[in-house]
Structure 1
Amino acid sequence: MSRSQTHRLRVSAARLSALAVTAGLCAVVPVALAPSASAAPVSIQLLNFNDFHGRIDANTTKFATTIEQLRAQNPNTLLMSNGDSIGASIFASAVQEDVPTLEVLNALDVATSGVGNHEFDQGYDNLTGLVADTVDFDYLGANVYQKGTDTPALPEYAEFEVGGLTVGVVGAVTLETPDIVSPSGVETIDFGDPVEAVNRVAGQLSDGDAANGEADIIVAQYHEGANLTTGLDAAKANRPEFAEIVDGTSAAVDVIFTGHTHQKYAYDAPVPGTERTRPVLQAGQYGENIGQVTLTVDSETGDVSAYTQANVARVATADTTLPRVAAVDAITKEALEYAAEVGNEPVGEITADITRAYSAPGATDRSVESTLGTLVGNALRDGVPENIGTPDLGITNPGGLRDDLLYAGNTTSNPANTDGVVTVAEANNVLPFLNNVSLVELTGDELAQVFEQQWPVEGRSSTLRLGTSDNVAITTNPQAPAGSRVENIWIDGVLVQPEETYTVSTFSFLAGGGDFFSAFKLGTTRDTGLVDRELWFSYLEDASPIEPDFAKHQVVAPGMPTVLGIGDTAEISVGNLDLTSLGSPANTDLTAYVVDEEGEVVDVAGEATVTAGAATIAVEVPLSAYEGDEIYLVAEPTGTAVGPIAVVDERTASTATGPATAVTTTVGKGVQVPIRITSDATATGTVEMRWNGYRQTATVVNGVARPTVPSNWKPGTYNIGFYYSGDAQTARSAVGVRVTIGRAPSVVLLTVPNPVKAGATPTLGIQVGNSSGVPYTGRANISYGGKGYQVLVVSGRAKFTMPPGRVGNHLITVWIDGNTLTAPSASTRGVRIIR
């Protein structure tokens, strides 16, 4: 008895029960091959699709019809999904948690499915709960384990009797899964190496031990694949994960289905260690193709003697007379009706119309930017979750914007649709194509090529102006030769460099070169798995209320400089400043603002009037500017910003020097501080003295400026900065000088009556003078006749009544201790007392 016969005798009753739905698949039919000596060959058809992503729409019944027509060609058929049937789904499926899609899979009698990363979008518990409870088959994940163990968290394989043979199907999901789904949803499970897991299970299915499963034919379903479709070797070189699948999968595996990358290919890949090949294929996305592999199998040995493979395109017309198609049609219609009802719900709010561009009332214009393009570009940039990526900019194609967001409501048909409300249906109408969101890594040179292709290219005669996020500024010269019309690109105010790499968030349509933007294909593209509708709705909700942004991002400015030196002048002509979206104001003024490194406007370098969206502005970089400042040309009232132009200082260097010794003075005496400016050029201009908000400017004469420390500064030591302004030829410089101001010297003057008669009490006059300019007020000390006295000096004057003294000559001394402004001083006079 052969291995396959022995195994079939050991099939459990439970498994046979599970296989009842495929009983009609087990008939054997002859094939046009020479039969083996031992048994007639069996033809087995394997049908596979991947990355369906809940496409419940007008094409769903066509997808089902394609499957049923292929099924009818061979009664020995096994239908499988290779993951991502749900998740990142279109609205009609997503609004009901993908239950309509799961019901479609059931109606089509899908036998099993490899698990994809999007099956984990709502978490492992949802997969093993709602999803598993809804479908009539197992999701397979041989490389999904319970946290911290090697215990399978999902069924690893499934077995099916097809044409009298056992087909074993092993599933494995991309190792990227925990990085591209919500971490909290998969925190109880681990993801291992997919090839290692498939090989382990394939070994069990081919080791002759029925206890761990046995299969005549082994099919591996990897939810992982190639990014290139230009050939097997190129695809392997481009994606190591795919190379490992092709070269590392066990020779026991007869067929390899792949997915995840949304590509369409069918490769005859060498089987490691043999001279055979085996089919390796992927069927694209969204049910657009069905992967078909037909195996010719020896019914006695289970050996595959021949195979064919193809990706069969979805049929153009549905056939609802087929029973399974009719069931799919009913599910689809019900889901679409429900989606239409739910579409009345609000999803966001706007403050005014946000629309496409118009050349005339009712005539959209794809050759210019729009407020709607900016909004969608912002959503593409800001709506990607951080665990998936951080785009530098968002880009949308104008043809992808299919409707406007209008402020006026429509409460007649929907009471919730008041002014400013954006409903689910209205938001969906803007982006109805349900592209996936892609992240594309492009060099600066490749990014410029993308924008170059806005003008007519081979295959497209029209101009298509891409919409960009609001952190992008571009200057162009439409009259320049093709390939050089895009002159400058800035992202977040930084000039794009040709060799630097930038991450663009865009739709899969553009990422794949749609609308003849083939330069996108020069970069490295990663499918985020996000459907544009999902990202778009989430962004509208989070960003509301949303105002229209009337700023242009792409303007005509031939030869606009990206660098100007201090003192330089430039005449810049700027055009194409106005938008034509509904409500867009016409610009009237263009101003060249000097902005410092902190982002503050510090000066104006030029002004001009805008007429019909164009202006010529004379820009003169002021001498007050610093290297590192930037100049933006800003049009008002839209806020369109062109640039920035980097400010550099290319003037001859200068050196500012102060006095060789410290500068000292006293209160009340201003002092000049000579500042010498040394330069290879003849320095002119000014030197500004700065201290604690005080500013004083002195002109440079013969290389020296002499600012003066004011006479009214209080005593103390000052570290004063002296800043040379520079001139058209000479760069600025600065020096610090320490200036010490002492208290003002004072003098005490005494008025003494002489001689004084004995017994008299004459009045002594006291006067205190100083150079501070502030009359002295304070105590005066008096020594007379061996005793001490004090009087109060007010505004520099005081009187003292002298006591009677003895006849003879005496001395009277008066001194002051000084105050914050005035230094101490003293005076002594003689007093003669007579009889």
Structure 2
Amino acid sequence: MVFAGAAPAGAAEVEAAATVDLNLLNINDFHGRIGRTGPNLASTVPFAGTVEQLRAEHGEESTLFLSAGDNIGASLFASSSAQDQPTIDVLNALDVQASAVGNHEFDQGFADLRDRVIGGGNADWTYLAANVYAVGTTDPVLDEYALFEVSGVTVGVVGAVTQETPTLVSPAGIATLEFGDPVEAVNRVAAQLSDGDAANGEADVLVAEYHEGAASVDADPTLEEALAAGGVFAEIVGETSAEVDAIFTGHTHQRYAFSAPVPGVDGATRPVVQTGNYGEHVGQIVLTVDPATGDVVSHTERNVARTAVPDAELIATYPRVAEVAGIVDAAVAAAEVVGNRPVGSVTADITTAFAGGTWTGPGGTYVGGSRDDRASESTLGNLVADSLRETLADADRGGAQIGVVNPGGLRAELLAAGDGVITFAEANAVLPFVNNLWTTTLTGAQFRTLLEQQWQRDAAGNVPSRAYLQLGLSDNVSYTFDPARAEGDRITSITVDGRPIDPDAEYRIGTFSFLAQGGDNFRAFTQGTRTRDSGLIDRDAWIAYLTANSPLTPSFDRRSVLVTGYPTQARTGDRLTLGVERLDLTSLGAPANTTLTASWGDGPVVATVPVTAGAARLTLTVPDDVVGEATLVLRAQPSGTTVRLPLTVERSVVPTSTALTLSAASVRYGTAATATATVTGATSGDVRFTWDGTSVTVPLADGVATTTLPAGLARGAHPVVAEFLGTAEAAPSTSAPVTLTVVGRSSSVDLTLAPRSVFQGLPSVAVARVRSEGRPAQGRVEVLVDGAVVATRQVQDGVVAVVLRSSTLAVGRHDVTVRYLGSDSTEPSEDTATLTVSRLSLRR
């Protein structure tokens, strides 16, 4: 259906007569922003006037007004106080024809959407969801598409919602549903509507309404930047069927109007648009279509900012706007009965985190600040977490020790404009979802996993469009992190109530039912035990907290700080260099920190460094008196942000060397030798001397230790080693081995052969007398004939005798040697004699 080429030369008039324009108007993520003026850009009349201005550009018959979902839910009080009926009435009055279902349409559960919003005849438009099925089937539970006749062309609109919906709403409300791949579903329906079979529906032009879109990038991104951010958006642009002529997106609250390549069609492009949110802009795609073929000849796309024409002029000009104004005025008046009742007050703004851009609130326009940066910590998120902990601390309400809040649950600010009074409506706008408050038990290890899950992964392991969600935490919790570390190892420390978290201990967590059921991909909550519903509604508990604690003052201390170079173990004397970042909050009114101090525990400040743009670099030495389990405490001023870094400190030890000397390198058997170890680097401690598998430990005195080696060491070589065993201050060390040689007593052998000459076959006796220093020796001898051992004998009283058989000897002279082998105390010796063997002759 897509053709994006230029018209042939000279054919302009023919084309003008042969084509029609389709004026497609769109909104996304309206979220019940109805009101005449006020916070969060709830200026409904200018919004409605913009729709009517754009409708008038091409006329009623050429215009189709659509939505990409989240029309209701997370709404302002004027709408939420009446279950969003005023918002439904406003969109009915503006003739919205079809809308993708958004995840917030399921906030009150599928039954509410089906039976009240749709089935009750409230929404005049068709809600579309091609990828939402009855559980265990592929049967859609809502309409997949709708067909409209626009300027004589049949326009098919196909809707799909983010597959992340089960993580974004309370699971119990959608337990009967499954959410499939949105692109696959749109392509399936697009193929059906373009297969030429009128029986299953046909369309000349196809429009996809995705409640899913590009991830957050810089303002006014290029298509290339949006695609580079990855996620489902790249699939929407690159994989949506070429039969689809225009794509509207939503969910991620981004604003863009792209002309994107059509997959598989060279040179062809199609529009891809998202309007931001809250009716601040209206998306417009104009398709120039050849009605005979259904081909799109050209297209334009843009986002049109809400008109600045005065309300009165818009009301007088456009009947629909007048109807909208009446609906809004009635809703605001009804809400004011309850909503204008003061419930508390603030001394200064308490807000979500702000990012680049501008934001207009009751106090004026905030340049350089666009609310709801869900990837950053905020004063409001932490305050709500404090309220959860306090509300649920009583054992009867669950005994919460820690409060946890998801950033997407915070939909408005507490602003101090005027007298600082917070009304019921303003308080309700902060927490509009009507969740119950639950408690559950997580171990310290599971809580660490919960914090790791701020770096998002969906159930399939994919990174969703919002890749990071910053949890708000009660003020008794702080942690450090390093995003450069491996996934699952980014949280480097957690402190609860001033002490390091115990991985095995149990902690009661107070939170919303949405989170406690694993919402926003925080699946660690599903591992919780003793999960309990307090029976309290978040709005009621929140308002009670505001009333009890007013006036409230914002706390600008951070609960999470990025720290690099943080060691969990150190030694005294070590030089630590830490990088500390993200010390500053971006909530309205947050001060820029100027200094960072360091101390050991509650001790005095040991270092002070400047903070620039929320970052500092700190270098300090671990002192000698910090040993064992220690805490390095960093404090940023003026915010009061406190960082506690637990670490184990061991006392540093001095390196040593051990040298070994012997009183003599060689001694005679029976003479003792002295071994002396000299240890450099230590004056006390123990030295272990080892030789022949025997050890003796001797205390070190003034760096020297000695021992006497036994006098009875056997003759031979004896390696000796000295080992300094170390102390708390000095490292162990070992000497090189030194060899002691023990020399035995001298010996002598006196050999006699009897006889010295024999006839062949007759014996001779070798008699040897073995003596050592004049005394008979003991031990063994070997008898050798011509160098070959023929016998081994034990010496008895210094004498040994061996019979030599000459029958095996040749005629001639033979050397007979008796070799004394020595003993542990005696050296070897030998003596040699000659035996003559003759041939026996017999004469007659």
CA displacement at 1:243 relative to structure 2: 2.1
What is the CA–CA distance in structure 2 between the aligned matches of 1:283 and 1:683, rounded to whole Å? 78
Q: Is the CA contact (8 Å cut-off) linking 1:220 and 1:255 kept in structure 2?
A: yes
Identical-residue share of aligned pairs (%): 44
SS across alignment from 2:14: coil
Letter in 1 for 2:48: A
Partner in structure 1 of residue 73 of structure 2 = 87
Residue 292 (structure 2) aligned to one of 289, 300, 323: 300
- Cα gap change, 1:97 to 1:383, in 2 (>3 Å): farther
Partner in structure 2 of residue 790 of structure 1 = none
CA displacement at 1:539 relative to structure 2: 7.9
C-alpha deviations, 1:500-538, integer Å up to 9, x for none? 7879xxxxxxxxxxxxxxxxxxxxxxx9799xxxx9958
Residue 290 (structure 1) aligned to one of 275, 279, 282: 282
What is the CA–CA distance in structure 1 between the aligned matches of 2:297 and 2:200, rounded to whole Å? 26
**Correspondence list, 1:592-741, <5 A:** 594=601, 605-606=603-604, 621=623, 623=625, 625-626=627-628, 628-632=629-633, 641=642, 643-644=644-645, 646=647, 648-652=649-653, 681-682=681-682, 726=728
Residue 176 (structure 2) aligned to one of 174, 177, 188: 188
What is the CA–CA distance in structure 2 between the aligned matches of 1:529 and 1:328, rounded to whole Å? 38
SS across alignment from 1:292: strand
Q: Is the CA contact (8 Å cut-off) linking 2:98 and 2:127 kept in structure 1?
A: yes
Q: Is the CA contact (8 Å cut-off) linking 2:78 and 2:331 kept in structure 1?
A: yes
C-alpha deviations, 1:275-331, integer Å up to 9, x for none? 322222122211111111222222333322222222111111231111100111111
Q: Is the CA contact (8 Å cut-off) linking 1:376 and 1:536 kept in structure 2?
A: no
**Correspondence list, 1:782-821, <5 A:** none
Aligned length: 515
- Cα gap change, 1:302 to 1:99, in 2 (>3 Å): same
Q: Is the CA contact (8 Å cut-off) linking 1:141 and 1:173 kept in structure 2?
A: yes
Question: Where does structure 2 lack aligned partners over 5 or more consecutive residues?
Answer: 2-10, 38-42, 352-362, 368-376, 390-402, 433-452, 457-469, 492-518, 523-536, 577-582, 590-596, 609-619, 657-677, 686-698, 705-725, 733-844
Partner in structure 1 of residue 51 of structure 2 = 67
Partner in structure 2 of residue 328 of structure 1 = 324
Q: Is the CA contact (8 Å cut-off) linking 2:631 and 2:646 kept in structure 1?
A: yes
What is the CA–CA distance in structure 1 between the aligned matches of 2:95 and 2:288, rounded to whole Å? 23
Letter in 2 for 1:148: G
- Cα gap change, 1:142 to 1:640, in 2 (>3 Å): closer
Partner in structure 1 of residue 424 of structure 2 = 424
What is the CA–CA distance in structure 2 between the aligned matches of 1:396 and 1:197, rounded to whole Å? 29
Residue 125 (structure 2) aligned to one of 101, 115, 137: 137
Partner in structure 2 of residue 761 of structure 1 = none
SS across alignment from 1:272: coil
Residue 402 (structure 1) aligned to one of 415, 418, 427: 415
Residue 41 (structure 1) aligned to one of 12, 15, 19: 19
CA displacement at 1:161 relative to structure 2: 1.5
Q: Is the CA contact (8 Å cut-off) linking 1:293 and 1:308 kept in structure 2?
A: yes
- Cα gap change, 1:383 to 1:315, in 2 (>3 Å): farther
What is the CA–CA distance in structure 1 between the aligned matches of 2:641 and 2:263, rounded to whole Å? 60
Letter in 2 for 1:50: N
SS across alignment from 1:166: strand
Partner in structure 2 of residue 309 of structure 1 = 301
CA displacement at 1:404 relative to structure 2: 8.8
Partner in structure 2 of residue 776 of structure 1 = none
Letter in 1 for 2:226: A
Q: Is the CA contact (8 Å cut-off) linking 2:204 and 2:294 kept in structure 1?
A: yes
Partner in structure 1 of residue 142 of structure 2 = 154
What is the CA–CA distance in structure 2 between the aligned matches of 1:64 and 1:324, rounded to whole Å? 8
| Superposition CA RMSD, Å | 5.9
What is the CA–CA distance in structure 2 between the aligned matches of 1:394 and 1:111, rounded to whole Å? 32
Q: Is the CA contact (8 Å cut-off) linking 1:112 and 1:158 kept in structure 2?
A: yes
What is the CA–CA distance in structure 2 between the aligned matches of 1:395 and 1:125, rounded to whole Å? 23
Partner in structure 1 of residue 241 of structure 2 = 250
Q: Is the CA contact (8 Å cut-off) linking 2:386 and 2:473 kept in structure 1?
A: no
Partner in structure 1 of residue 478 of structure 2 = 492
Partner in structure 2 of residue 378 of structure 1 = 382
- Cα gap change, 1:683 to 1:190, in 2 (>3 Å): farther
What is the CA–CA distance in structure 1 between the aligned matches of 2:429 and 2:114, rounded to whole Å? 34
Residue 269 (structure 1) aligned to one of 233, 246, 260: 260
Partner in structure 2 of residue 53 of structure 1 = 31
**Correspondence list, 1:184-263, <5 A:** 184-227=172-215, 228=217, 230-263=221-254
CA displacement at 1:103 relative to structure 2: 0.6
Q: Is the CA contact (8 Å cut-off) linking 2:167 and 2:521 kept in structure 1?
A: no
C-alpha deviations, 1:530-578, integer Å up to 9, x for none? 9xxxx995883697766979795699xxxx99997448999xxxxxx9x
What is the CA–CA distance in structure 1 between the aligned matches of 2:297 and 2:349, rounded to whole Å? 60
- Cα gap change, 1:295 to 1:551, in 2 (>3 Å): closer
SS across alignment from 2:86: helix
Residue 93 (structure 2) aligned to one of 96, 107, 112: 107
Q: Is the CA contact (8 Å cut-off) linking 1:266 and 1:279 kept in structure 2?
A: yes
- Cα gap change, 1:176 to 1:426, in 2 (>3 Å): closer
SS across alignment from 2:57: coil
Residue 98 (structure 1) aligned to one of 79, 84, 98: 84
Residue 333 (structure 2) aligned to one of 334, 337, 349: 337
- Cα gap change, 1:347 to 1:189, in 2 (>3 Å): farther
C-alpha deviations, 1:416-470, integer Å up to 9, x for none? xxxxxx75256479999xxxxxx9869xxxxxxxxxxxxxxxxxxxxxxx99967
Partner in structure 2 of residue 127 of structure 1 = 113
C-alpha deviations, 1:773-796, integer Å up to 9, x for none? xxxxxxxxxxxxxxxxxxxxxxxx
What is the CA–CA distance in structure 2 between the aligned matches of 1:395 and 1:222, rounded to whole Å? 20
Q: Is the CA contact (8 Å cut-off) linking 1:569 and 1:621 kept in structure 2?
A: no
Q: Is the CA contact (8 Å cut-off) linking 1:374 and 1:549 kept in structure 2?
A: no
CA displacement at 1:236 relative to structure 2: 2.5
Q: Is the CA contact (8 Å cut-off) linking 1:652 and 1:681 kept in structure 2?
A: no
- Cα gap change, 1:619 to 1:430, in 2 (>3 Å): farther
Q: Is the CA contact (8 Å cut-off) linking 1:168 and 1:216 kept in structure 2?
A: yes
1:280 maps to 2:280 = no
- Cα gap change, 1:593 to 1:347, in 2 (>3 Å): farther
SS across alignment from 1:152: coil
CA displacement at 1:156 relative to structure 2: 0.9
SS across alignment from 2:315: coil
- Cα gap change, 1:568 to 1:223, in 2 (>3 Å): closer
Question: Where does structure 1 lack aligned partners over 5 or more consecutive residues?
Answer: 4-31, 367-372, 411-421, 433-438, 443-465, 473-490, 504-526, 571-576, 583-589, 595-603, 611-617, 656-677, 686-698, 705-723, 732-835
SS across alignment from 1:333: helix
What is the CA–CA distance in structure 1 between the aligned matches of 2:255 and 2:555, rounded to whole Å? 41
CA displacement at 1:193 relative to structure 2: 1.6
What is the CA–CA distance in structure 1 between the aligned matches of 2:93 and 2:418, rounded to whole Å? 38
State the structure with bigger RCO (CA 8 A, min sep 6), 1 or 2: 2
Q: Is the CA contact (8 Å cut-off) linking 2:379 and 2:556 kept in structure 1?
A: no
